[in-house]
């Protein structure tokens, strides 16, 4: 059996997938709602080297431990980092694809546990590498759905479709408006009107979260219980993504109060995403920033997925000159906030956040000034080729 090596050979191929930050539309994607993310210039690189031996090998620069499987075997979860990449292999096999021996090595700079979709980045990079290896392609929709299945069914994380979709389909300079109920999407420009003079700043609280367990799973259950109660008494309703706040209010007595509040966040968040579309086409950073901050208040009070550290960062950001709006992003319970900031204020904005956070929590927060990046399809098949 060959010994895994991190050094690519002349026969190796590489595939890339970015991380993402969500500007608006948090916890709406698993209920058929609207989301407004963009890809960020952090990425996972999957390097695939063909092997003559009949084995599949998986290694990572970030995580300890290797995974080796016989070619043709049916992979099962191992309960570690490898589930996010081996799960993709399993889903591709279930789609009728087969693979000779290979060594797949992961590396990259998407921060882990920060809410910037490191897991989905791994999944999409893995899928692109494996597809390129056997000279195959998939549509954006099919690739995103397959990678989400890997996370839901193999890694046992109850995420929606947003992360995998934007990481696959994003275009530089644009946010992606996605209807997660229909998978219809639209690229919205970030350079119209006064919005062209605004920038996206991310601040990592350094509080790690895990969407595979804990409070995220509890919120998911509460939402699903509320949605089921709502659909049962609302004619024509299919999901929270298809109803209004008035309809939700009329169904309030049919669900637990905690489920009502979770659902109210989601329904109001869908409305905010719709309003954000208009603000982006008119190039209005003030309106977009107000919607972002309203989203944070809703996450903090109705969905209760914030924490003292991220609340402090949002409050501090909103006090800084040139900040149009800020919110918790990426599922919550730690992770990052995202802020919309005037370009001429960015030089002072990020240091002010870091200093205030250090003084309050004795933790060195990390800040990133980000531009909207290309997704995996643009990175791996820029000219539409199959290899």
For 174-200, the pLDDT digits (tens) are: 999 999 999 999 999 999 999 999 999
Residue matched to tokens 């208009």 = 278
Segment 40-78, tens digit of pLDDT:
999 999 999 999 999 999 999 999 999 999 999 999 999
Residue matched to tokens 């609280």 = 205
The stretch 215-233 carries a mean pLDDT of 94
* Cα separation, 194 vs 283, whole angstroms: 5
Contacts from 243-250 at CB under 8 Å and sequence distance 24+? 243/267, 245/271
* Cα separation, 104 vs 84, whole angstroms: 13
DSSP state of 241: G
Banded model confidence at residue 384, pLDDT cuts 50, 70, 90: low
Do 324 and 289 touch, CB atoms closer than 8 A?
yes
The stretch 243-253 carries a mean pLDDT of 96
Do 373 and 170 touch, CB atoms closer than 8 A?
yes
Which residues on neighbouring strands pair with residue 13, listed in sequence order? 48
* Residue 381, burial from CB neighbour count under 10 angstroms (0-12, 13-18, 19+): middle
Q: What pLDDT, on the 0 to 100 scale, is given for residue 116?
A: 84
Q: 38 to each of 70, 221, 244, 289, 302, how far by Cα in Å?
A: 38, 27, 26, 16, 25
Segment 96-150, tens digit of pLDDT:
999 999 999 999 999 887 778 899 999 999 999 999 999 999 999 999 999 999 9
Q: What pLDDT, on the 0 to 100 scale, is given for residue 213?
A: 56
- Is pLDDT at 208 greater than 90 in this prediction? no
Do 108 and 45 touch, CB atoms closer than 8 A?
yes
Here the tokens at position 17 are 């997938």
Q: What pLDDT, on the 0 to 100 scale, is given for residue 211?
A: 55
Enumerate domains of the chain plus CATH numbers. Answer: 13-186 (3.30.230.10), 191-370 (3.30.70.890)
- For the chain, first and last CA: distance in Å? 27
Helix 346-361 and helix 308-318: axis angle, to 10°?
Answer: 140
Angle at 382 between CA 95 and CA 374, to 5 degrees: 90
Q: What pLDDT, on the 0 to 100 scale, is given for residue 115?
A: 76
Report the catalytic residues. Answer: 163
Q: Are strands 323-329 and 198-204 parallel, antiparallel or unpaired?
A: unpaired
Here the tokens at position 74 are 């049916």
- Could you tell me the pTM of the whole model? 0.91
Banded model confidence at residue 35, pLDDT cuts 50, 70, 90: very high
């Amino acid at each position: 059996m060959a010994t895994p090596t991190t050094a690519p050979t002349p026969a190796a191929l590489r595939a890339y997938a970015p991380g993402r930050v969500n500007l608006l539309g948090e916890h709406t994607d698993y209920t058929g709602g609207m989301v407004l993310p963009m890809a960020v210039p952090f990425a996972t690189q999957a390097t695939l080297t063909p092997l003559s031996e009949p084995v599949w090998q998986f290694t990572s620069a970030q995580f300890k431990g290797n995974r080796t499987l016989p070619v043709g075997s049916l992979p099962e979860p191992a309960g570690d980092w490898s589930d996010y990449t081996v799960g993709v292999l399993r889903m591709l096999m279930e789609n009728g694809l087969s693979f000779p021996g290979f060594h797949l090595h992961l590396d990259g700079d998407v921060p882990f546990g920060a809410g910037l979709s490191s897991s989905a980045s791994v999944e999409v990079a893995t899928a692109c590498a494996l597809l390129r290896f056997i000279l195959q392609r998939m549509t954006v929709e099919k690739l995103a759905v397959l990678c989400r299945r890997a996370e839901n069914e193999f890694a046992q994380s109850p995420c929606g479709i947003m992360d995998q979709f934007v990481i696959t389909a994003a275009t530089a300079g644009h946010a992606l408006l996605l209807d997660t109920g229909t998978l219809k999407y639209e690229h919205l420009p970030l350079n119209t009107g006064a919005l062209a003079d605004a920038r996206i700043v991310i601040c990592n609280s350094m509080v790690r979260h895990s969407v595979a367990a804990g409070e995220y799973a509890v919120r998911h259950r509460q939402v699903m219980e509320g949605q089921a109660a709502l659909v049962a008494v609302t004619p024509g309703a299919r999901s929270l993504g298809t109803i209004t706040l008035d309809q939700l209010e009329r169904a309030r007595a049919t669900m637990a109060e905690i489920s009502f509040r979770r659902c109210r966040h989601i329904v109001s968040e869908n409305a905010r995403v719709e309003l954000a579309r208009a603000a982006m086409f008119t190039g209005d950073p003030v309106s977009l920033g107000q919607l972002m901050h309203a989203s944070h208040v809703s996450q903090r009070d109705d969905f209760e997925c914030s924490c003292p550290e991220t609340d402090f960062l949002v409050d501090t950001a909103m006090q800084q000159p040139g900040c149009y709006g800020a919110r918790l992003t990426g599922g919550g319970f730690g992770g990052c906030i995202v802020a919309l900031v005037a370009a001429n204020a960015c030089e002072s904005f990020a240091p002010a956040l870091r200093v205030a956070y250090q003084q309050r929590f004795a933790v060195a927060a990390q800040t990133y000034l980000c531009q909207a990046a290309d997704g995996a399809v643009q990175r791996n098949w820029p000219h539409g080729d199959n290899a």
